[in-house]
């Protein structure tokens, strides 16, 4: 992937990242805010995600009735999402139509209305979104695991928020949240596609630089104490299938251990974005019929978060047998050095996944802003090189350091129906 | 403001390579050297249409088993070859076809095609692997039983397409999956997997001619003289009055609903007016008129939209929503009201113009990735749209009038003959 990008900071503190790609007449533009569910105190959980919804409810210039049509009319694709650490909005448009997206984003950075009626109808929409999640056994167990893994740090709650708060958050709560965090010095604009950097930057300055700086509250930091031993929990619900989720405390994305852990993850659960049928867990759990499926997953976060292994238990096995088989595989990685060819393989896999990603302009604009939320663009450009330097001893060391039973939570979804 | 650079972004006769091998395989290819990767996809006529009610799920079971072991490699060997180079490949199947797809770095395309060829031609259906897969499929069916969206969709298809192959779920049922033997799978493979009717598309950092040669090398010699032709689709019986079906699933916090009727097939002349009409009804902006009344105005649902499912045979025109169980009736009433309005007065000039602009404007976005282009080439082939389809596309879209949309709406939608399927507590 070509790495030449232009990075600059506007006078009001807004960071801009631009990458010209002239392979198709398309531009993808993303605006990122450094606010997410981890910035929400108890009583206001879900407010970042709800604010994201309200950003589609209109400004004076782009009223709700017109807003949702303006981008679509020009053939654009747009959406938004909220994570633990950030909130992001994107538009991917025919190149000659991108100005509309920029005008819209600069307008809704400061002029969203948060009309009380819209807040009221969105409340039930979001409650409905949460009810949809609750239909899923995996959501139920995953939420319980997360709540148990974090007692102090605000990674404790789900991004969508607790039902109690979704019922009580007010219009003014939402508007305050918006005004506090949606300021240019708390935002990053990342854009990739078919444009000329100089003229694009000029236009971005015209639209965004007049927006006044704000006083951004410090991030909510309440470090989670070290885990004091394994915790096990269960949730019950309808169905016939047992799910087990095992979550280990995992370092933040800029921790030096994060990269060797990506190799560890690749060997244990498979390279992200590829099939994983030759991963150690697939061979040990699915091939040996302890599970019908297994996956491993981590997230690049600002503060230490979780590595989660999710297992769909085989009907003929007991949960304890499944956990023993899992532990055996982890212990192997802690006891026996992996071969350097396994690491070479993981690097080749990552290289392929990067190549697939570079086919897509939306994806390239995403990555620029995404890494900026927890690190800088170099994190992305150095990634493959750093991965290639990981040694077998590194893998063993991080396996020992992070994958101890004493620092994990095990959640089991116990189906109330008859097991198949 | 953005500097526009003229570039051949739309696939057309100039850059879509198409040839038919002597054994019947159609090869499609298009180059894209922007990334060192390549995407591969295709299909062959080995779908669920060939299977009996007693062995429902057989075609799907067979396609899922192709990579479980071949005469040359075992399951682990196949995936080791793929995953070691960061490549991927998979099979699935629908009513008409078995489908395949994969991607790799361009240097690994020969490997990808070799694995494709081995999986298609020489699967051995190893007994132990089949049993593992069967257990996985059965767990999948147990999860489907708990999924409000899946169960509402199944009840909908069963009712709308009663007596027609489209009424059956192609992943089968617990008892039919249990009834399938290894011999059934071998027989199915022998009768239906062959070069006749197979199509493969390759898009990425490779000259079309080289892509063609690579396919020809591994699949050009494939001959299956006894490959069975697909049976003709029977006619479907229209519903006489609105039918309501509910599938009960205890303990769920949300219900799903599907409301709909028969829609045009992909080749029907009304396809474009139906598609644009549907965009107004339940797609454009925040899920069109349906999204506006059910989500934006009433706050009843996180998702509420309509879609057109148009393929080889009769299509379906469906409205989907997920709502709190106590709001089910309210949501159904609102949707019925919108359907009546749609059939009575069609779409406004502005609504149609908006959707036409959206269809035209978004076209380049669908070719962002190699797999997007490969999918487009396969659609052109499957529905015989012509290599110049994307060059004519703007005219096809702009040619639709308000009268066309209204006439199409009246032809397909009768608000007194709906199928309403729901699943939830």
Whether the CB-CB separation of B139 and A420 falls below 8 Å is answered with: yes
Q: Given CB atoms, is B364 within the 8 Å cutoff of chain A? A: yes
Name the pLDDT band for A3 (thresholds 50, 70, 90). low
* pLDDT above 60 (res B1): no
Q: Using CA atoms, how far apart are residues B161 and B235, in angstroms rounded to an integer?
A: 10
Q: Given CB atoms, is B296 within the 8 Å cutoff of chain A? A: yes
Across the strands, what pairs with B92?
B99
Nearest by CB to A121, from B75, B251, B297: name it: B297
pTM listed for this prediction: 0.93
Q: Using CA atoms, how far apart are residues A294 and A313, in angstroms rounded to an integer?
A: 9
| Alpha helix positions (H), A56-115 | 64-73, 98-108
Average pLDDT value over all residues in chain B: 95
Specify the 3-state DSSP secondary structure of B318: strand
b/e for A365-403, b at 16 or more Cβ within 10 A?
bbbbbbbbbbbebebbeebeeebbebebebbbebbeebb
- Portion 59-118 of B in contact with A at CB < 8 A: 75-76, 79-80, 82-88, 90, 103-105
Whether the CB-CB separation of B318 and B309 falls below 8 Å is answered with: yes
Contacts of B196 (CB under 8 A, 6+ apart): B23, B24, B45, B224, B227
Q: ipTM score here?
A: 0.90
| Alpha helix positions (H), B161-309 | 174-179, 182-192, 208-219, 271-282, 284-290
Q: What single string gives the DSSP state of each residue in A226-290?
A: PP-S-EEEEEEESSS--EEEEEEEE--TTSTTHHHHHHHHHHHH--TTS--TTSHHIIIIITTTS
User: What's the pLDDT tens digit per position in B153-206?
Assistant: 999 999 999 999 999 999 999 999 999 999 999 999 999 999 999 999 999 999
Name the pLDDT band for B279 (thresholds 50, 70, 90). very high
Cβ–Cβ contacts within 10 Å for residue B329, how many?
A: 11
Whether the CB-CB separation of B87 and B80 falls below 8 Å is answered with: no
Percentage of the residues of chain A whose pLDDT score is greater than 70: 99
Q: Given CB atoms, is B285 within the 8 Å cutoff of chain A? A: yes
* pLDDT above 80 (res A68): no
Closest CA relative to residue A324, chosen from A278, A297, A285, A270: A285
Chain A: closest CA distance from residue B154 (Å): 18
User: What's the pLDDT tens digit per position in A198-209?
Assistant: 999 999 999 999
Name the pLDDT band for B4 (thresholds 50, 70, 90). very low
* pLDDT above 50 (res A216): yes
Specify the 3-state DSSP secondary structure of B210: helix
What number of C-beta contacts closer than 8 Å exist between A and B?
226
* pLDDT above 60 (res A159): yes
- Contact list in B for residue A241 (CB cut-off 8 A) is 139, 142-143, 146
């Amino acid at each position: 992937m070509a790495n030449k990008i232009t990075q600059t900071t506007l006078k009001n503190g807004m960071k801009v990242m631009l990458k010209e790609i002239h392979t198709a007449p398309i531009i993808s533009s993303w605006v990122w805010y450094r606010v997410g569910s981890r910035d929400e105190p108890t009583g206001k959980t879900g407010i970042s995600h709800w604010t994201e919804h309200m950003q589609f409810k209109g400004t004076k210039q782009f009223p709700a009735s017109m807003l949702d049509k303006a981008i679509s009319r020009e053939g654009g694709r747009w959406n938004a999402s909220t994570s633990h650490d950030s909130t992001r909005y994107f538009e991917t448009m025919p190149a000659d139509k991108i100005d509309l997206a920029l005008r819209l984003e600069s307008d809704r950075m400061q002029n969203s209305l948060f009309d009380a009626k819209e807040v009221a109808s969105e409340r039930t929409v979001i409650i409905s979104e949460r009810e949809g999640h609750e239909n899923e056994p995996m959501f139920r167990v995953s939420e319980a695991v997360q709540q148990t893994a974090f007692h102090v740090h605000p990674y404790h709650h789900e991004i969508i928020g607790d039902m109690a708060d979704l019922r009580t958050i007010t219009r003014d709560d939402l508007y305050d949240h918006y005004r506090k965090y949606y300021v240019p010095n708390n935002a990053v604009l990342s854009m990739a596609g078919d444009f000329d950097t100089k003229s694009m930057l000029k236009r971005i300055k015209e639209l965004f630089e007049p927006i006044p700086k704000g006083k951004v509250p410090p991030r909510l930091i309440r470090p989670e104490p070290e885990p004091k031993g394994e915790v096990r929990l269960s949730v019950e619900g309808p169905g016939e299938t047992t799910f087990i989720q095992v979550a280990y405390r995992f370092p933040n994305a800029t921790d030096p251990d994060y990269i060797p852990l990506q190799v560890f993850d690749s060997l244990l659960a498979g390279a992200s974005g590829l099939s994983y049928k030759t991963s150690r867990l697939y061979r040990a759990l699915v091939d040996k019929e302890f599970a019908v499926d297994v996956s491993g997953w981590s997230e690049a976060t600002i503060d230490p978060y979780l590595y989660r292994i999710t297992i769909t238990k085989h009907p003929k096995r007991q949960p304890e047998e499944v956990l023993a088989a899992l532990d055996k595989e982890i212990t192997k990685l802690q006891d026996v050095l992996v071969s350097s060819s396994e690491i070479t393989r993981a690097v080749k896999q990552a290289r392929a996944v990067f190549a697939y990603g570079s086919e897509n302009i939306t994806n390239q604009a995403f990555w620029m802003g995404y890494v900026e939320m927890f690190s800088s663009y170099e994190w992305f450009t150095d990634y493959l090189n750093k991965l290639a330097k990981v040694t077998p001893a590194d893998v063993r060391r991080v396996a020992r350091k992070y994958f101890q039973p004493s620092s994990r939570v095990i959640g089991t979804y116990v189906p109330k129906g008859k097991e198949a | 403001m953005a500097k526009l650079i003229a570039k051949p972004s739309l696939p057309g006769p100039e850059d879509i390579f198409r040839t038919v091998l002597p054994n019947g395989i159609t090869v499609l290819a298009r180059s894209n050297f922007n990334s060192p990767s390549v995407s591969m996809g295709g299909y062959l006529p080995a779908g669920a249409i060939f299977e009996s009610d007693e062995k429902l799920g057989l075609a799907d079971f067979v396609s899922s088993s192709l990579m479980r072991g071949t005469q040359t490699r075992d399951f682990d060997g196949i995936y080791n070859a793929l995953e070691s180079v960061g490549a991927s490949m998979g099979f699935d199947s629908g009513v008409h076809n078995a489908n395949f797809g994969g991607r790799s770095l361009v240097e690994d395309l020969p490997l990808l095609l070799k694995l494709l060829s081995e999986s298609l031609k020489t699967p051995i259906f190893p007994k132990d692997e089949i049993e593992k897969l069967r257990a996985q499929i059965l767990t999948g069916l147990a999860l489907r039983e708990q999924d409000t969206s899946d169960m509402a969709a199944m009840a909908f298809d069963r009712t709308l397409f009663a007596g027609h192959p489209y009424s059956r779920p192609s992943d089968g049922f617990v008892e039919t999956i249990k009834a399938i033997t290894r011999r059934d799978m071998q027989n199915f493979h022998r009768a239906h997997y062959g070069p006749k009717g197979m199509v493969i598309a390759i898009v990425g950092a490779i000259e079309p001619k080289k892509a063609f040669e690579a396919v020809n090398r591994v699949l050009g010699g494939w001959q299956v003289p006894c490959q069975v032709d697909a049976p003709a689709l029977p006619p479907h019986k229209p519903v006489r009055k609105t039918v309501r079906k509910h599938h009960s699933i205890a303990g769920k916090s949300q219900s799903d609903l599907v409301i709909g009727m028969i829609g045009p097939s992909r080749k029907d002349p009304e396809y474009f007016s139906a598609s644009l009409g549907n965009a107004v009804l339940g797609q454009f902006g925040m899920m069109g008129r349906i999204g506006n009344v059910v989500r934006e105005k009433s706050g009843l649902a996180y998702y509420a939209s309509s879609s057109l499912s148009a393929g080889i045979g009769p299509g379906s025109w469906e409205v989907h929503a997920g709502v709190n169980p106590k709001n089910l009736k309210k949501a159904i009433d609102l949707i019925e009201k919108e359907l009546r309005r749609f059939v009575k007065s069609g779409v406004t000039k502005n609504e149609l113009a908006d959707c036409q602009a959206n269809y035209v404007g978004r076209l380049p976005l669908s070719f962002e990735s190699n797999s997007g282009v490969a999918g487009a080439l396969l659609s052109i082939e499957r529905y015989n749209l012509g290599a110049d389809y994307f060059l004519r596309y703007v005219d096809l879209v702009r040619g639709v009038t308000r009268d066309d949309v209204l006439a199409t709406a009246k032809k397909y939608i009768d608000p007194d003959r709906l199928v309403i399927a729901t699943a939830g507590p």
